Amino acid sequence: MKTIFAEIITIGDEILYGQITNTNSQFISSELDKIGIKVSRQVSVSDKGNDIKNAISDAETRADVILMTGGLGPTKDDITKKTLAEYFDSGMHTDEKVMEWLHNFFTKRGRELSDLNKMQALVPDKCEVIYNDWGTAPAMWFEKFGKIFISMPGVPSEMKNLMTKKMIPKLQQYFKTPIILHKIVHTIGIGESMLAEKIADWEDNLPQNMGLAYLPNYIQVRLRLTGMGEDKEELEQKMQLQINTLLPQIEKYVFGFDDDTLEQVIADLLVEKRKTISTAESCTGGNLGHLFTKIAGSSRYYEGGIISYTNAIKIKLLGVNPATLDEFGAVSEQTVREMAEGVRKKMGTDIGLATTGVAGPDGGTNENPVGTVWIAYSDENKTIARKLTLVNDRLQNIQFASLLMLEFTRKNMN
Amino acid sequence: MKTIFAEIITIGDEILYGQITNTNSQFISSELDKIGIKVSRQVSVSDKGNDIKNAISDAETRADVILMTGGLGPTKDDITKKTLAEYFDSGMHTDEKVMEWLHNFFTKRGRELSDLNKMQALVPDKCEVIYNDWGTAPAMWFEKFGKIFISMPGVPSEMKNLMTKKMIPKLQQYFKTPIILHKIVHTIGIGESMLAEKIADWEDNLPQNMGLAYLPNYIQVRLRLTGMGEDKEELEQKMQLQINTLLPQIEKYVFGFDDDTLEQVIADLLVEKRKTISTAESCTGGNLGHLFTKIAGSSRYYEGGIISYTNAIKIKLLGVNPATLDEFGAVSEQTVREMAEGVRKKMGTDIGLATTGVAGPDGGTNENPVGTVWIAYSDENKTIARKLTLVNDRLQNIQFASLLMLEFTRKNMN
């Protein structure tokens, strides 16, 4: 099977000036990677006709598919469409379906369809128009000597929808790409190299048509198993067998699969077990509450929290014993246990969680250097605490402690 | 004055596979933009020798400076250094200063300096070694026919330090770039186009050597005034005069200048006025507390918060009157006022803040559709509430409401 090569061209001065991060190239690359198309180059050029043409003709010498984003707006800076018409030596005409869509789009929003906006319906004769159900600029699909040229708007939400819902299926059909499946295993609390060591034998013995990628994101590492084959069901089964062999070796680090997030996994567990939860936060300062409440529907199980940044509030609102704070300090197993128990009782929830630690940059001591965090889980049967030794960065300490608190909850919930 | 053109080449398969976002290109572009060097192209290629060489020779035909990142690690995948030596037809030698640095680097961390790591000290004869005080791979500076070729490690923290502390001053000296100064005005609560309309006259009348950029980030828009000149002090003064003319026109939207962030501005104000603060959060669910506590030293003024996700907790912990909730509902001016007053008294702080609203996607009503949020500020003299009409996205509603609560605090604090 011949490898299909792709190049991506993002068009727009705002990228070259460093005003925005180029997330479009990453998204397109990752979508193409999933169907086995290999991206060999990403290029960003300005909104100048010649720069765009040069980039396309360069790419054409190397790649089978050239995907472009940007420069499709109605203003005079946006010249991608005109440039493509010139490049392919094509006339232009008005696409009636786009015009109708524009009429509806503007009428619905109570805005007038200006002559400038009507220009969006003008398309090159030599392209297939790919309708954009998420915005006003249609996408274009050109074919030339078996090579494909795709132009999409630069607005990320429009591009993403066009890419996943229209371009990917079309590319799969055109290039008859093989069946490619992915299975993702989400881990937390183990580094990439340690994980790689643990599963080296398994990885070495994967069949030829499967490959593994490590996708680390700080304390979380995603393992992505990719398989290629002719029969979808058979491939699916064989990959699942591999995952089943893998899991027992890393069980204690795995919290989910595929599209799961740690936050959503905890949310689903709480709903399933009909448990309510509350939080008492010192060093995480509200971020743990935020991780719960950013999930839609969280009011079903998350009742509330207390951010106790001072000892006085730990005593008054959480019922921590002043003697505990005196004897052991705010960053201690004893205090964090009383905080978790206190918030659970105060809020009347099934589960109470607590964090207290030294996020930094100041406040570190010999006994509790920056990065020392205690977390605790409490329910009607037990209260369990754990000490974390994190890093030398305030924001990372807040994020890591919050995520590890979620993971600790997952493990201890019955 | 001749324009200096630059191209950026980022090297590494993880970018082409879409596994990481290419933030290096953005950072380098934005730093070059600040000193008046124009980036005309950004390219990402794989870790293959030929791909790298082709990208460099392409770039050489167009640009005056070519900046590369990535491929400088000690493993066999990392071939940028070897490729550059071949490209410039150069031998290699061991740089004693790098070797000594490596010895110290590994000794300090209690690790052994392996033969593989010693390879990091091997450098092409034809380059100037630019020492990397933040990691193990040195950077390289090549000159050829008046063009500059720079190679830096791909690790963002190392690249950023090398770029700002070493490469930028060296490039300014080499190309004798003019003095370029920037002044940034931070606004919140006004859209880009409305802002542009308000200051159109001022912008049109800027002198030839000054230009304005709009850098929007959701509800915040940064205005960046860039000036070019020969005399730093004179330029600085003239730009300040322009800013002084601008400010009265947009005063109510401006919260800071240059490196300011809204969180830090509020933090500084609270310290300066010796005020303490606490938060009562419903729809923002802890995110407001997080914005306060992510700032180092926030325990000086932030005492704590209550995340009251249920009515029961609003009543029990914040002292909201059950009759208020019955009559007006949780998302109402009356409730948010009682929440802000309640948390202020409960926590014993000078200021109390409160948020309550419909973040979505569910929970919207005719009266309070998704995106309706009430915020309140309370101190010993007054309690003031404001209704926000935000968007149809849960996470954005949480973020926007939190930021607008900060801005509301800034405006109402005496």
The CATH number of the domain holding residue A385 is 3.90.950.20
Partner residue opposite B46 with nearest CB, options A40, A292, A395:
A40
Q: Is A297 part of the contact surface with chain B (CB cutoff 8 Å)? A: yes
Q: pLDDT class for B353, splitting at 50, 70, 90?
A: very high
Cβ <8 Å between B19 and A45: no
- Do B10 and B129 lie in a common domain? yes
Q: Is B286 part of the contact surface with chain A (CB cutoff 8 Å)? A: yes
Q: pLDDT class for B1, splitting at 50, 70, 90?
A: low
Q: Which residues of A touch B44 (CB under 8 A)?
A: 25, 41-43
CATH number of the domain where residue B200 is located: 3.30.70.2860
Partner residue opposite A289 with nearest CB, options B307, B312, B394:
B307
- Do A171 and A183 lie in a common domain? no
Lowest mean pLDDT among A211-225, A385-399, B280-294: A211-225
> What is the pLDDT, as a whole number, of residue A396?
93
Cβ <8 Å between A317 and B32: no
Which residues is B123 bridged to in the sheet? B93
The two beta strands, A372-378 and A383-389, are antiparallel
Domain closes at, from A175, A201, A224: A175
Phi, psi of B185 (to 5 degrees): -115, 120
- Do A153 and A185 lie in a common domain? no
- Do B220 and B319 lie in a common domain? no
pLDDT in tens, A282-314: 999 999 999 999 999 999 999 999 999 999 999
Cβ <8 Å between A16 and B347: no
pTM: 0.85
- Do A10 and A135 lie in a common domain? yes
ipTM: 0.84
Domain closes at, from B209, B229, B257: B257
Q: How many residues does chain B have?
A: 414
Q: Is A159 part of the contact surface with chain B (CB cutoff 8 Å)? A: no
Domain closes at, from B174, B189, B221: B174
End-to-end CA distance of chain B, in Å?
50
Q: Is A193 part of the contact surface with chain B (CB cutoff 8 Å)? A: no
- Do A297 and A379 lie in a common domain? yes
Q: Is B303 part of the contact surface with chain A (CB cutoff 8 Å)? A: yes
- Do A14 and A129 lie in a common domain? yes
For residue B405, CA distances in Å to B206, B283, B358, B388, B408 come to: 34, 12, 15, 10, 5
Farthest-apart Cα atoms in chain A, separation? 84
Which residues is A147 bridged to in the sheet? A144
Distance CA A261, CA A195 (A): 19
Question: How far off is chain A from B192, nearest CA to CA, in Å?
Answer: 14
Q: Which residue of B has its CA nearest to A35?
A: B17
Which residues is B211 bridged to in the sheet? B226
* Half-sphere exposure of residue B404: CA atoms within 13 angstroms, side-chain side: 24
- Do B297 and B342 lie in a common domain? yes
| Domain of residue B328, residue span | 262-412
Residue B261 CB contacts under 8 Å (≥ 6 apart), including other chains: B186
pLDDT in tens, B249-267: 999 999 999 989 999 999 9
Best of B193, B309, B394, B397 to disrupt the A interface (most A CBs within 10 Å) is B309
- Do B248 and B280 lie in a common domain? no
pLDDT in tens, A122-161: 999 999 999 999 988 999 999 999 999 999 999 898 999 9
CATH number of the domain where residue B44 is located: 3.40.980.10
Q: Is B310 part of the contact surface with chain A (CB cutoff 8 Å)? A: yes
Lookup: tokens for B229: 């000149």
Partner residue opposite B303 with nearest CB, options A42, A51, A310:
A310
Q: Is A30 part of the contact surface with chain B (CB cutoff 8 Å)? A: yes
- Total domains in chain A come to 3
Q: Which residues of B touch A348 (CB under 8 A)?
A: 312
Residue A89 pLDDT > 80: yes
Cβ <8 Å between B285 and A306: no
> What is the pLDDT, as a whole number, of residue B61?
95
> What is the pLDDT, as a whole number, of residue A1?
61
- Do A14 and A158 lie in a common domain? yes
Lowest mean pLDDT among A51-55, A279-283, A364-368, B111-115: B111-115
- Do A184 and A205 lie in a common domain? yes
Q: Is B281 part of the contact surface with chain A (CB cutoff 8 Å)? A: yes
Q: pLDDT class for A178, splitting at 50, 70, 90?
A: confident
- Residue B126 identity: K
- Do B168 and B248 lie in a common domain? no
> What is the pLDDT, as a whole number, of residue A406?
97
Nearest to A43 by CA among A57, A31, A30: A57
